[in-house]
Structure formats: C-alpha cells, structure tokens
Amino acid sequence: MDDPSVEIGAAYENLKDAALTPLHMLTSRPAKRTYLTTLLLALTSLALLLVAILAYITFYYLTIPSLGFSRPIPLQFSPSSLTPTTYGTVALAPDVSPSQPYDVSIRLRLPRTPANIAVGNFMLDVHLLLPDGRVLARSSRMASLTYRSAPAELLGKIARLPAYALGWRAEADTLDVRVFEEAQFAKGWPSKPETLRVEVSGGKGDGRVQVYGAEVRFRSRFNGVR
C-alpha cells in the first residue's frame, strides 16, 4: 500500500506549486522586462508631455499678445478758475504692443452727490502722447451719471442702506467710457504712445466733476490667426 504521508506531501507540494505559480509568473524574466518597458514608456511620455507644455507656454508668450492692461490715473484739479477741469497723466510704456488693435476705455468712479448730479453731461478729452510730447491721437466723449427719478433713488437707497451702514458699498456709480476703438500703432519710434492724458470738464454748475478714481483700460482686439 502506498504511504499516506507520501501522498499528503505530494498533495502539499502540488498545492504549493499552484499557489506560487502566479508569483513565479509575476517575477519571471519576461514579466520584469514588461515592467521595465512600461516604466520607460511612462517616463518617456511624461517627459514629452512636459516638453510640449513648456513649448506651448513659450510659443504663447512669444507670439500671442497680452489680453490688455490697465493703469490707475492720478487726478488733480487745474489751477484755472475760468475753465475748471480735473485732469491726469499716466505712463503707458512699455505695455503697448505695435500692430495690435486696442479698444481703449476710461473707467470713472463717481460719487452720487448733488453736485455731480447737477453737473449733468460732462466731457472726457483724451490725448495719446508721443515720447516727445506731440499728440498721436485725440478723442472726446460725453458721459453722465445714470438718471434716476426721486422715488427710484429713495427706494434704492433704502434697499442698500444695510450695505452702506456696514461699509460694503458706497453711494457711487462706475462709468466705462470707450474713447478709442481698434486703435493701432505702427512699429518703431516714435509711433507708439508713451503717455495718456485725460481731462474731465464741462457740464452745468461750476463744471467740475467729483471723482473717486479713474483708470485707463487697454483691451486687445484679436482677429484672423490671432
């Protein structure tokens, strides 16, 4: 008769071999070669992806103009009492790109004071100046605070009273006045504007508009391939 211990040992060895077969397959030379190939492929793909991202960023910044820029305009009063104006000058260089069309607007933040409402319509006179001080372009635009009837003004103030009390809002209007459309400047000196000068004047009363702040905004207008 066969020895039972031999049969048990053989069964154990068979079971052991069956259990270790997947491990042997995972640690075999072909499997290791597959792991190495996969790792190299993943590292190569990652390196190519990083190179592509870097190349795209470099290409973008070298060939695509910026979407635009803005500048706060420091304002002051003119010394003349005959034609009182508020004016300011701001430098534009070096952000103006040649051969790039821009839409240029002046953003004014105006308090809704009785004096400003009494002024009514007022004028914005904008000059783009070359480095030598000559005028490259000029534009004049009319603007005014938004009209509100007395009942609408009162209801609006009541509705916004909590925000006013907490300092979250101010009794002010923001006006965006477009002064140039598709303004484009040639390459070379002196073809690009160096500075911008804006004057705020006109209207009824003493003609002086009360202003919280002003800002010039250049926005690129893209067309064609750009």
Summarize pLDDT for 193-222 with one digit per residue, the tens: 999 999 998 766 556 788 999 999 999 887
Would you state the pLDDT for residue 226?
47
Q: Where are the domains of the chain?
A: 4-63, 68-220
Q: What is the mean pLDDT of residues 134-160?
A: 87
pLDDT at 2 over 60: no
Token pair of 122, please?
């007022």
Token pair of 1, please?
């008769």
Would you state the pLDDT for residue 169?
77
Q: 176: burial class by Cβ within 10 Å (0-12, 13-18, 19+)? A: exposed
What is the distance between the alpha carbons of residues 27 and 140, in angstroms, rounded to a whole number?
81
In the CATH hierarchy, which fold is given to the domain comprising 68-220?
Answer: Jelly Rolls (2.60.120)
Token pair of 102, please?
């821009």
- For the beta sheet containing 68-73, the strands, ordered from the edge strand earlier in sequence to the opposite edge, are 68-73, 213-220, 102-111, 172-183
The DSSP element (H or E) to which 151 belongs, if any, is helix 150-159
DSSP string, 186-204: -SSTTSS--EEEEEEE-SS
Per-residue pLDDT reduced to its tens digit, 8-49: 655 556 665 566 566 666 666 776 788 788 888 888 989 999
Q: How far apart are the first and last CA of the chain?
A: 92
Largest Cα span, the chain: 132
Would you state the pLDDT for residue 190?
73
Dihedral over alpha carbons 176, 179, 181, 183 (to 10 degrees) = -130
Q: If you average pLDDT over every residue of the chain, what do you get? A: 82
Whole-angstrom Cα Rg for the chain: 36
